[in-house]
Chains A and B, each alone.
Chain A
Amino acid sequence: MRALLFALMLEILVNGLARGAIYALIALGYTMVYGILGMINFAHGEIFMLGMFGAVYALGALGSAGLMAVGITLPLAIVAAMVFSAGFGILNERIAYRKLRGAHLLAPLTSAIGMSIVLQNFVMLSVTKGKVDFPRAIAAPLADTTWTFGSWDLSSIQATILSVLPDVWARWMASKWVVQSVHLSALQLLIFAITLGLMGLLFWLIQRTRLGIALRAVAQDRTMASLCGMKVDGLITLTFALGSALAASAGVMVSMYQGVLRFDAGYMMGLKAFTAAVLGGIGNIPGAVIGGLLIGLAEDLTSFTIASEWKQSTAFAILILVLWLRPRGLLGERVADKV
C-alpha cells in the first residue's frame, strides 16, 4: 500500500512538475513586466503561442535547407523561437504600452488586450484555423524515450478498497487508480533541464550583473532611476524581450509535449500562468517559479482525483482562492499606495 501511494505521488509529481515548470517560465514574463511597469501584460499568452509557431517555422526553414539532425535543429529552433517572440514582445511594448505609460491604467490594459486579439487572429488567418503538427521526427526521439520505474500489483489493494468503501466511492476510485509504475520521458527531463538552465540564467542576470541592478532600480522607482542616468525605455523594452523569450522556450516544449499547436493555445496558457504569477506574488520572481510548480501539481491532482474535464477550472478556482485569502500571493509583499 505504501509503495503504491509512493508511486502515485511520484507519477503526479513528475507530470505536475513538468507542467508546472512550463507555467513558471511563462509566469516569469508576467511577473517581470508587472514588477517594472506595474501592469499586467495581457498579450503575453499570445507571445507564448507565437514562440510555438516560430519554432516550427524555424524547423521548416532548417528542413528546407537540408538540416535534419535533431541535436542541431532543435537547439537552433528554440533559439530562433526565443528571438522571434522577443521581437513580438518588443513590438507589443512599443505599440500597446509605450505611448500609454502615463495614461489611466485602463488604456494600456485595453490596448494590450487588443494586441492579444490581433496577434491571435493574425495567426489564425495567415496560418490555419486548425492545428499544426509539431514535426514528429524532432519530438518523437525525446517523447518516446521513457524510463519506467517499479511495478506494483494493484489487484489485491483494489479488492481491499472495494470491500471497505461504499459502493459508489469504490467504483470511482477503482476507475481512477490504474497506475502501476512511474514513467519519466526524456522530454520531461529536457523540460526540467531547460527550465532550470534558463531560470538560473535569469537569476544570475538579475542578481549579479549591472544590468540586473539597473532593472531592479527601474522597478523600484522609475523617475529616480532615470535621474541616475539609466535608460528606462531601453530597460523596459529589455524586460519585455526577456519575458517573451522565456515564454517562447516554454512554447517550444509544450508543442513537443502535445505534438500539436494551435493559434488559440496562448489563451488558456496565459490565464494559468497569470494565476501562477499571482499565486507566487505578482512582481516577485522566485514567487512566479513556485506558483507555476504549484499550479502544475494542483492541475495534475485534479485531473487525477476528480476528472480531467474540470482541469481548466482548477486554475480559476485557485486564482479566486488566492485573491480571497492572500491577495499578495505566497511571497509578495504589501505595497502601500504612494500618497
Chain B
Amino acid sequence: MSKSPLATRLAVIAGLLVLTAPFLWTKLDPDFNTGFVSLSLAPSNAIQFLSVVLPAAVVGWLLAGIGFLWGRFGPTKPVIATGSQKLFESPRLLVATCAVLAGFGFFMSAKFLSLGTFVCIHMMLAIGLNVTIGFTGLLVLGYAAFYATGAYAFALVAHACPWFPTWAALPVGFLVAASTGFLVGLPCLRLRGDYLAIVTLGFAEALRELLRNLPQTGGDMGLLVPTSARIQSLGPVGQAQASWIAAVAVTLFVGLVIHRLYHSRIGRAWIAIREDETAAAMMGIPVVRLKLLAFSVSAGIAGVPGAFFAGFAGFVDPSTATFEQSVLILAMVILGGIGSLPGSILGALVLYLVPTLLRDWFPAISDYRLLFFGAILVAMMLFRPQGLCGSPRHKLELEGKS
C-alpha cells in the first residue's frame, strides 16, 4: 500500500521476466554418459513461444479496448441480455428461432453442421456449469466428469439393450449424471464452497482411472455406440442435418428450462445462497438441500450433451473426462459472465469456434489453447469479473436509477 500501483506493477513484471527467463532463454543439455546436465543459451525457444503469445496478447489487448469503448459509447442497454430475456420469455419467438436455425441446416455443408453441433454441445455444458458456479456461487473443477458420465451411461445402456430408442438417451444421460452429482455433492456441500472444487477435481481423476481400468468400459479405447442407437438420417434429412436440428432444439430447450428455473423461487434462493449463506438460511432457505439441488441439476445437464455426444459421434472414450475439457467449459462460463445465461451461450460460441477455426491456419494453436484459457480465467477475474455479458440484473439497476 505504501508503494504506488505503477511501481508494484513494474515489480511484478520484472519478477515475471526474471523467473521465466531460465525456461525461455536457456536449454538443458543432459550428458547421458556422465549423467550430468549443463545449460546453454537458446533464444530460439523464447522466440517460438513469444511469437505466438505476444500477438495473442496484443489481440486480447485490442479486444479489451474495443470492449471498453463499447461500454463507453455503445448502447446503454445490454443488448445481448435483453435479447435473451425476450427470447426465453416468449415461446413463439423461441420456436421461430429454432425453426430458422434448423432451416440453416439444409444450406450448410456437413462439416459446418458438425462444427455447429459441437458448439451446441458446449453451449449446453456452459449453461449447466453456470447453474453451480454462476447461480449458487460454487466452483466446480471437474465438470467434464459428468459429461463423460452421461456419455458412458448412454453407451452402456445402448449396448445392454439394442432396442433402446435414441431420443431416450437424453433423459438417461440426465438422470445418471444427476444422481452421480448428487452422490459426489452429498459429502462436501455441507462445507465451504472451495471443497466442492477439489472434490470434483478428484472425482474427475478417479472416474477417468475407473473408465480406463474397468473391462466394461473398454479401457483407453472407449466404447462404440451401436449403429442403431446413433442419430440417423430421416427421409430427406441427412444424418448431419438431423444431428444439427436435434442439437439446436435440445440446446434451446435446456436454455429455456434454466431460464425458467432462474426466474423462480428456486433460482432466487440459489442466488441468495451465493450472496450470503447465513442470511439465506435465516430467510428459511434450506441451504444444503438447495446447493445439492443446484449441483445435481448442473451435473444432470452435463449428462444431456454427454449422451447427445455419444449418439452423435458414435463412440465414447475417457478423454471426455479430461481436465482440459473441464477447463474449457469453465473458461466459457467465466468469459461469458458468471450467472448469465446468454453469457454462457456467447462464451461457448467464442471459445469453441475461435480455436477450432484458427487451427486450420495455425496448427500450433491447439498446444497453446489451454494456456490462453488459463490466462482468460485470471484476466477476467482481475479486470472484468462480471464477464462479457455481465449479468441480466444490470438492466434492472439501470431502470431502478432512472
**A and B held together in a complex:** yes
Q: Known pairs A109-B194, A122-B20; list 11 more (Cβ under 8 Å).
A: A60-B38, A94-B8, A106-B138, A113-B141, A113-B327, A114-B375, A122-B371, A137-B36, A319-B202, A323-B199, A324-B187
A276-325 interface (Cβ within 8 A of B): 278, 309-310, 312-313, 315-317, 319-320, 323-324
Give the contacting residue for B193; candidates A84, A105, A320; CB below 8 A.
A105
Residue of A nearest to B364 (CB): A125
Query: Is residue A212 within 8 Å, beta carbon to beta carbon, of the partner chain?
Result: no
Residue of A nearest to B134 (CB): A106
A271 touches B201 (CB 8 A): yes
Give the contacting residue for A63; candidates B16, B37, B198; CB below 8 A.
B37
Residue of A nearest to B11 (CB): A94
B385 touches A107 (CB 8 A): yes
A304 to B185 Cα, complex, angstroms: 30
B139 touches A114 (CB 8 A): no
Query: Is residue A123 within 8 Å, beta carbon to beta carbon, of the partner chain?
Result: yes
A68 touches B36 (CB 8 A): yes
Give the contacting residue for B28; candidates A122, A129, A132; CB below 8 A.
A132
Q: What does DSSP make chain A's interface, helix, strand, loop or mixed?
A: helix
13 interchain pairs, CB-CB under 8 A: A91-B15, A95-B12, A100-B382, A105-B192, A116-B374, A125-B49, A126-B24, A133-B37, A135-B35, A140-B35, A274-B198, A309-B213, A323-B195
Query: Is residue B373 within 8 Å, beta carbon to beta carbon, of the partner chain?
Result: yes
B191 touches A323 (CB 8 A): yes
A233 to B1 Cα, complex, angstroms: 8
- Known contacts being A56-B28, A117-B377, A323-B187, is A63 close to B209, with CB within 8 Å? no
Query: Is residue B206 within 8 Å, beta carbon to beta carbon, of the partner chain?
Result: yes
Chain B residues within 8 Å of A88, by CB: 19
Residue of A nearest to B198 (CB): A274
B365-401 interface (Cβ within 8 A of A): 367-368, 370-371, 373-382, 385
B206 touches A316 (CB 8 A): yes
Query: Is residue A268 within 8 Å, beta carbon to beta carbon, of the partner chain?
Result: yes
Chain A residues within 8 Å of B193, by CB: 105-106, 109
A271 touches B198 (CB 8 A): yes
B194 touches A40 (CB 8 A): yes
Give the contacting residue for B205; candidates A103, A133, A316, A337; CB below 8 A.
A316
Instruction: Tally A-B pairs: CB < 8 A.
Output: 196
B30 touches A126 (CB 8 A): no
A110 touches B34 (CB 8 A): no
Residue of B nearest to A136 (CB): B35
- Known contacts being A137-B34, A316-B203, is A117 close to B371, with CB within 8 Å? yes
Query: Is residue B245 within 8 Å, beta carbon to beta carbon, of the partner chain?
Result: no
Query: Is residue A115 within 8 Å, beta carbon to beta carbon, of the partner chain?
Result: yes
Chain A residues within 8 Å of B30, by CB: 133, 135
Determine how close the nearest CB of chain A comes to the CB of B103; give it in whole angstroms.
39
Which residues does B use to contact A, with CB under 8 Å? Answer: 1, 8, 12, 15-16, 18-20, 22-24, 26, 28-30, 34-40, 45-46, 49, 133, 137-139, 141, 186-188, 190-195, 197-199, 201-203, 205-206, 209-210, 213, 274, 277-278, 323, 327, 330, 334, 338, 367-368, 370-371, 373-382, 385
Interface string of A8-42 (1 = CB under 8 A from B): 00000000000000000000000000000001101
Query: Is residue A267 within 8 Å, beta carbon to beta carbon, of the partner chain?
Result: yes
Determine how close the nearest CB of chain B comes to the CB of A332; give it in whole angstroms.
11
A319 touches B199 (CB 8 A): yes
Determine how close the nearest CB of chain A comes to the CB of B174; give it in whole angstroms.
24
- Known contacts being A60-B28, A91-B15, is A40 close to B35, with CB within 8 Å? no
Chain B residues within 8 Å of A274, by CB: 198
A133 to B30 Cα, complex, angstroms: 8
Chain B residues within 8 Å of A103, by CB: 385
Query: Is residue A246 within 8 Å, beta carbon to beta carbon, of the partner chain?
Result: no
Residue of B nearest to A317 (CB): B206
Chain A residues within 8 Å of B194, by CB: 39-40, 105, 109
A55 to B377 Cα, complex, angstroms: 29
A111 touches B37 (CB 8 A): no
B15 touches A90 (CB 8 A): yes
B198 touches A87 (CB 8 A): no
Nearest 4 interchain pairs by C-beta: A114-B377, A117-B374, A137-B35, A136-B35
Determine how close the nearest CB of chain A comes to the CB of B346; give it in whole angstroms.
18
A126 to B45 Cα, complex, angstroms: 7
B28 touches A118 (CB 8 A): no
A125 touches B367 (CB 8 A): yes
A337 touches B338 (CB 8 A): no
Residue of B nearest to A30 (CB): B198
A316 to B186 Cα, complex, angstroms: 15
Determine how close the nearest CB of chain A comes to the CB of B135; give it in whole angstroms.
11
Chain B residues within 8 Å of A64, by CB: 38-40
Most chain B CB inside 10 Å of its own CB: which residue of A123, A132, A323: A323
A267 touches B378 (CB 8 A): no
B374 touches A114 (CB 8 A): yes
A133 to B34 Cα, complex, angstroms: 13
A84 to B15 Cα, complex, angstroms: 11
Query: Is residue A57 within 8 Å, beta carbon to beta carbon, of the partner chain?
Result: yes
Determine how close the nearest CB of chain B comes to the CB of A71; give it in whole angstroms.
14
Residue of A nearest to B369 (CB): A121
Query: Is residue A198 within 8 Å, beta carbon to beta carbon, of the partner chain?
Result: no
A94 to B138 Cα, complex, angstroms: 24
Chain A residues within 8 Å of B46, by CB: 126
Residue of B nearest to A125 (CB): B49
- Known contacts being A57-B28, A125-B368, A323-B187, is A104 close to B23, with CB within 8 Å? no
B371 touches A121 (CB 8 A): yes
